[in-house]
Amino acid sequence: MRYNVAVIPGDGIGPEVIEESLLVLKKIGEIYNHEFNFQEVLAGGIAIDKTGEPLPKETIELCKSSDAVLLGAVGGPKWDGLSGEKRPEKALLGLRSALGLYANIRPAVLHRALKEASPLRSDIVGEGIDICVVRELIGGIYFGERGRSVKGKMGEAAYDTEAYSVGEVERIAKTAFQIARKRSKKVTNIDKANVLESSRLWRSVVEKVAKDYPDVVLEHMYVDNAAMQLIRNPQQFDVIVTTNMFGDILSDEASMITGSIGMLPSASLGEGSMGMYEPIHGSAPDIAGRNMANPIATILSSAMMLRLSLNLEEEAKTIEDAVTRVLEKDYRTSDIMNSGMKPVGTKEMGKLIVTELESL
Ligand code: NAD
Ligand code: IPM
Ligand code: MN
């Protein structure tokens, strides 16, 4: 089969981690006889530099006509002075919205080999951590009304609005319950319903949707408590469903308890099979260009792409198994390094995973 994949390397470590993911995908193509038609497009800071805008129309068009999109990361200090609409991050938000990708799936899994890399005590980690964060992605405060006002209480003011409608909550809640059905059948809804009206509506809709999934247990938790519980007892979580903003923050926290943000992949999905796949981390300007970035989050994102958009389950599993084997052979990028382990850079880690695939 031939698959059209739009590739957005982006900025900072984006191109570095994408390069390794493409090598892995090419190897999978060779082994299983698939043709991946990778079409590279511009978005983010590099697009601003080359075209004057963060998300050129051609990029949106190509992504829309592709089977899936694979993205590295966008942003960096060079563009931090730009206004909201012109920033590299606007490319990401614009793409998610233009493609209708409302469900962001972020699996936080602690590999057995990485127990030592987790900052949590081994009695807390127990048999491992396997949490799936389901984050609403194209609503809430990220996309609400915002602006500036000269008449603030104490001078000029700025505001961002959190608003959710019933339909937006229903669809993300359904996604979470459907995922939970295939896992340990528990959904923890995380909100701030003790303070926010938008959270009270959110919670009531989640409860209504839950009635269609009587086999799944639903719990509610306030976001402040949840941030604490993720550290105190991560084992209690199976599927987390939450808003755009809370999901952004809690998934970075969840990533760290699995060893590093460099390990966490994500899938962004809408109604069809088309999806966008990216690591949850950013462009990491502090380590960019130094062959230090962990490419595993992006490589695992490409495995999610094979599974969820291209319907290639066996191929996805093959990549995940190759990653596990390389970790079990004690190879580590610096973010997951522990004493006695073998230090490798971005390129070496990518090559090791490709070599595992070759030795199938
Ligand atoms: P970041 O995720 O880029 O980096 C946070 C820390 O994690 C840094 O110390 C970094 O070195 C480390 N890190 C991140 N990915 C790593 C990897 N693969 N391997 C090893 N270490 C890794 O977050 P930030 O510093 O807050 O943001 C930097 C820029 O990236 C900003 O412009 C931000 O807006 C952007 N950003 C983009 C995305 C995206 O494109 N999806 C996501 C988050 C942040
Ligand atoms: C992420 C990032 C983005 C977000 C930014 C860069 C817009 O932090 O994908 O987690 O907040 O969604
Ligand atoms: Mn984030």
Number of domains in the chain: 2
Q: Give residue 236 CA to ligand 1 midpoint distance, Å.
A: 28
Q: Give residue 293 CA to ligand 2 midpoint distance, Å.
A: 18
Token digits of residue 54: 């963060």
Mutate to test the pocket of ligand 1, among 70, 135, 261, 294 (most ligand atoms within 8 A of CB): 261
* Same structural domain, 87 and 127: no
In a domain, 250, yes or no: yes
* Same structural domain, 80 and 130: no
The CATH number that applies at residue 138 is: 3.40.718.10
Residue 360 has pLDDT above 90, yes or no: no
Q: Give residue 35 CA to ligand 3 midpoint distance, Å.
A: 32
Known binder of ligand: residue 174?
no
The pLDDT value given to residue 324: 98
* Same structural domain, 124 and 230: yes
| pTM of the predicted protein model | 0.98
The pLDDT value given to residue 19: 98
Nearest CA to ligand 2 atom 12: 248
* Same structural domain, 222 and 292: no
* Same structural domain, 15 and 83: yes
Range of the domain at 21: 1-99+285-360
Q: Which residues belong to the active site?
A: 142, 192, 224, 248, 252
Known binder of ligand: residue 57?
no
Ligand nearest to the CA of 252: 3
Residue 301 has pLDDT above 90, yes or no: yes
Give the whole-angstrom CA distance, residue 101 versus residue 124.
34
The pLDDT value given to residue 2: 95
* Same structural domain, 252 and 123: yes
* Same structural domain, 21 and 93: yes
**131 DSSP β-pair partners:** 108
Give the whole-angstrom CA distance, residue 287 versus residue 16.
11
Known binder of ligand: residue 2?
no
Nearest CA to ligand 2 atom 7: 89
Known binder of ligand: residue 64?
no
* Same structural domain, 218 and 340: no
Confidence of residue 229 (pLDDT cuts 50, 70, 90): very high
Q: Give residue 96 CA to ligand 3 midpoint distance, Å.
A: 14
* Same structural domain, 354 and 289: yes
**Mean pLDDT (the chain, rounded):** 97
* Same structural domain, 241 and 147: yes
In a domain, 113, yes or no: no
* Same structural domain, 134 and 192: yes
Distances (CA, A) of 165 to 192, 201, 213: 16, 8, 21
In a domain, 136, yes or no: yes
In a domain, 55, yes or no: yes
* Same structural domain, 86 and 195: no
Instruction: Read off the DSSP letter of residue 337.
Output: -
Boundary (domain end) residue, out of 238, 257, 276: 257
Q: Which tens digit of pLDDT belongs to each residue from 130-163?
A: 999 999 999 999 999 999 987 888 999 999 999 9
Instruction: Read off the DSSP letter of residue 243.
Output: -
In a domain, 273, yes or no: no
Mean pLDDT of 312-340: 98
The pLDDT value given to residue 150: 78
In a domain, 269, yes or no: no
In a domain, 163, yes or no: yes
Q: Which tens digit of pLDDT belongs to each residue from 109-131?
A: 999 999 999 999 999 999 889 99
More confident residue, 283 or 1: 283
The pLDDT value given to residue 1: 86
**Which residues have C-beta atoms less than 6 Å from ligand 2?**
75, 89, 92-93, 248, 280, 282
Token digits of residue 298: 């992006």
Residue closest to 123 by CA, chosen among 232, 18, 50: 232
Question: Residues 283, 87: contact at Cβ < 8 Å?
Answer: no
Q: Which tens digit of pLDDT belongs to each residue from 237-289?
A: 999 999 999 999 999 999 999 999 999 999 999 999 999 999 999 999 999 99
Distances (CA, A) of 353 to 103, 117, 350: 29, 19, 5
Terminal-to-terminal C-alpha distance of the chain: 21
Residue closest to 120 by CA, chosen among 27, 252, 222, 253: 253
Mean pLDDT of 85-89: 96
What was the ipTM of the complex prediction? 0.99
Mean pLDDT of 330-358: 98
In a domain, 144, yes or no: yes
The pLDDT value given to residue 152: 83
